[in-house]
Chain A
Amino acid sequence: MLVSNARNGSIDDFGQLYQRYYKSIVAIAYSMTGSTHTAEEIAQETFAVACGDIIRLRDLGKFAQWLAGICRNLSRKALRDKKEKRLSNDMFALIADQPEDEADQDLIENVRQAVLSLSDKSREVIILRYYEGLNYEQIAEINGLTNQAINGWIFRAKKKIASYLKKKGLYNE
């Protein structure tokens, strides 16, 4: 109903959609660009594009998926414009709490590196789950997949992270 009303020009309903999905969109952009500042800019641009194009949205039930698609395209464009194809190594460094203990700091740094080594899709799912704190259903809605599929993505991503840490001698199963 919210999407339908927003499509018919209701700015209040669009505002509610904005409130509901803003952080998820920031998280998706963040998973691709590695910068909170750029991610917030991309999220703003995503909603601005959605404002103008929502009239063209045919399947109203796929609003979140459509929005995420716009965000991914804008993120790719931002990376192209900056000519940065890879995420910087200091991703997450500014937003996460820095542990005081040096051993802990090393472990946390390696977990970040492990996340960076994931594929775009796996990284996005991990960021949505752990950085944004979405549940499987919410992640599934954004990706147009089933809960089981998301569960599979997260399971495999975590396995890769564990394996990365194991290779570094930082993790024992």
Chain B
Amino acid sequence: MNEKDSKDAVDKLLNKALGTNNAKPDFEKFCSANVDAVNVLKQNAKRKRNFFEEYFSFPNILSQLLRPVRIPVGLCLIVVLLVILSLWDIDMPGSSVAWAQIRRTAQTVDKVKFYEFCFKEDNTVEYTRGSYALGKVEMINPDGTTSIDDGRKRLVMAQDGSVINEINTEFSNLTCVENKHNFFEVLTKGILEYQQEQIDRQKPSQIADDFLTYDFSPPPALEVHFDSIVVTVGKNSLLPIQMKLLYKDTPGRYDVFFFEYSDNSQDKQ
């Protein structure tokens, strides 16, 4: 069987198998069954289309003008869009929040509570809690004593309030302590004060629905001790919620800080 005969054979089979369409159009019946729809159509006759609408309606003109160039114009638009997207910093919300904004927001906080967990290399955990208020850091130490550090000296007190010892401050030579304006830099002992200009420009490494994560390398002077510093920030409040310090000199050790802004109530998260 040649190709033509083969096609004819399929044609015949299809004609035989499918039969014929016996549907009969009956417009009168249609009109009587669809009175409402027909009335809508008849209404169109009463609707006067003005000259402008008839000949100069915007979509028609645009459609006619663009007809011969529709595909090239479409392609050009796509290319232009891609160029704009690549040049313009169209990112996810939060991706453009530089650390400087977080630092400025932290400066507005006068009081904050913090909880510090030190995970040691032998899998034990040391817990400390305390608070920062107007340049002073008060901590309840693991041995039950309390220490108050104002950046000049550190007073260690027994549970009854008597001063046991007066030692050197842990926050010496920190401008943030002297200026009494940034709890976060005080509590991190100024780690993020080094190369501040560079750190200020840093953008989040992770963006979630309600928080941003900043991943900092330690300053050169502290590279021997720290591996990295990871700070989680509330996306709405722009305040640090959590900080994780990973140590290099003691494998397996890391400190986690949680911050609570109950007095300031700035972080609703």
Contacts and interface: CB of A to CB of B under 8 A. Distances in A.
Interface of A: 6-11, 14-15, 18-19, 22-23, 26-27, 30, 36, 39-40, 43-44, 47-49, 51-52, 54-55, 58-59, 92, 95-97, 99, 107-108, 111-112, 115, 126-127, 129-133, 158, 161-162, 165, 171-173
Given A48-B34, A51-B37, A107-B13, A7 B20 contact: no
Given A51-B34, A172-B1, A9 B20 contact: no
Contact of B13 (A44, A52, A111, A133): A111
A51 B33 CA distance: 13
Nearest to B5: A173
B19 A18 contact: no
A44 B60 contact: no
Contacts of A115: 14, 17-18
Interface stretch (B40-48, B134-142, B163-171, B254-262): B40-48
Given A9-B45, A15-B27, A44-B33, A97 B10 contact: no
17 contacts: A8-B49, A15-B31, A19-B27, A26-B21, A26-B23, A27-B21, A30-B21, A36-B23, A48-B34, A95-B19, A107-B13, A131-B19, A133-B21, A161-B10, A161-B14, A162-B10, A172-B1
A136 to B, nearest CB: 14
Contacts of B31: 11, 15
Contacts of A171: 9
Contacts of A54: 41, 44
What are the 8 A-B residue pairs with the smallest beta carbon separation, nearest first? A9-B45, A96-B19, A22-B25, A9-B44, A111-B17, A51-B37, A26-B23, A48-B37
Contacts of A92: 17-19
Contacts of A99: 16
B41 A51 contact: yes
Nearest to A21: B25
B198 interface: no
Nearest to A127: B18
A28 B27 CA distance: 19
B34 to A, nearest CB: 4
Interface string B57-81: 0011001000000000000000000
Main secondary structure of the interface of A (DSSP, over half): helix
Interface string B3-15: 0001101110111
Interface residues of B, number: 37
Contacts of B43: 9
Contact of B40 (A51, A96, A97, A173): A51
A27 B21 CA distance: 7
B38 A11 contact: yes
Nearest to A29: B23
Contacts of A49: 37
B194 interface: no
A93 to B, nearest CB: 10
B22 interface: yes
B162 to A, nearest CB: 81
Contacts of A158: 7, 10-11, 14
A52 B37 contact: yes
Given A9-B47, A55-B44, A162-B6, A40 B17 contact: no
A43 B23 contact: yes
A58 to B, nearest CB: 6
Contacts of B11: 130, 158
The CB with the most chain B CB atoms within 10 A, among A26, A47, A52, A133, is that of A52
Given A19-B25, A95-B22, A162-B6, 10 more contacts: A18-B27, A18-B30, A30-B21, A44-B34, A51-B38, A95-B19, A97-B19, A165-B13, A171-B9, A173-B1
Given A58-B59, A126-B14, A158-B7, A47 B34 contact: yes
